[in-house]
Chains A and B, each alone.
Chain A
Amino acid sequence: MRAAIIHFPGTNREKDAIAALKQVSGKEPLLVWHKESELPEVDLILLPGGYAFGDYLRPGAMAAQSPVMSEIKRQAARGVAIIGICNGFQVLTEAGLLPGALLRNAGLRFICRDVTLQVETSNSIFTRSYQRGQLLRMPIAHQDGNYFADEATLDRLEGEERIAFRYVAAPGEPEESGNPNGSLHGIAGILSENRRVLGMMPHPEDAIDPLQGSTEGRGLFESMVKALA
Chain B
Amino acid sequence: MKARVHVTLKNGVLDPQGKAIQHALTALGFSGVEEVRQGKFIELQLAESDPAKARAEVEEMCRRLLANSVIENYEVEVEA
Q: In whole angstroms, what is the CA distance A148 to B10 when docked?
A: 12
Q: In whole angstroms, what is the CA distance A149 to B68 when docked?
A: 12
Shortest Cβ distance from residue A143 to the other chain B in the assembled complex, whole angstroms: 11
Q: Judging by beta carbons under 8 Å apart, are B70 and A61 in contact?
A: no
A57 and B16 in contact, given A93-B70, A101-B71, A148-B70 (Cβ under 8 angstroms): no
A103 at the interface (CB under 8 A from B): yes
B13 at the interface (CB under 8 A from A): yes
Closest B residue by C-beta to A93: B70
B26 at the interface (CB under 8 A from A): no
Q: Judging by beta carbons under 8 Å apart, are B14 and A106 in contact?
A: yes
Q: Judging by beta carbons under 8 Å apart, are B16 and A182 in contact?
A: yes
Instruction: Summarize A's interface: helix, strand, loop or mixed.
Output: loop
Shortest Cβ distance from residue B8 to the other chain A in the assembled complex, whole angstroms: 13
B20 partner residues in chain A, CB cutoff 8 A: 108
Q: In whole angstroms, what is the CA distance A11 to B40 when docked?
A: 25
A-B CB pair tally, cutoff 8 Å: 39
B14 partner residues in chain A, CB cutoff 8 A: 103, 106, 146, 148, 182
Count, chain A residues at interface, CB 8 A: 21
Q: Judging by beta carbons under 8 Å apart, are B13 and A94 in contact?
A: no
B56-80: contact bitstring with A at CB < 8 Å (1 yes, 0 no)? 0000000011101011000000000
Q: Judging by beta carbons under 8 Å apart, are A58 and B68 in contact?
A: yes
Closest A residue by C-beta to B67: A58
A153-189: contact bitstring with B at CB < 8 Å (1 yes, 0 no)? 0000000000000000000000000000010000000
Q: Judging by beta carbons under 8 Å apart, are A108 and B70 in contact?
A: no
Given contacts A61-B68, A65-B65, 6 further A-B contacts (CB under 8 A): A101-B68, A101-B70, A106-B14, A108-B17, A148-B71, A150-B12
Q: What 3 A-B pairs are tightest by C-beta distance, nearest first?
A: A101-B70, A101-B71, A106-B16
Q: Which residues in B have some Cβ–Cβ distance to A below 8 Å?
A: 12-14, 16-17, 20, 64-66, 68, 70-71
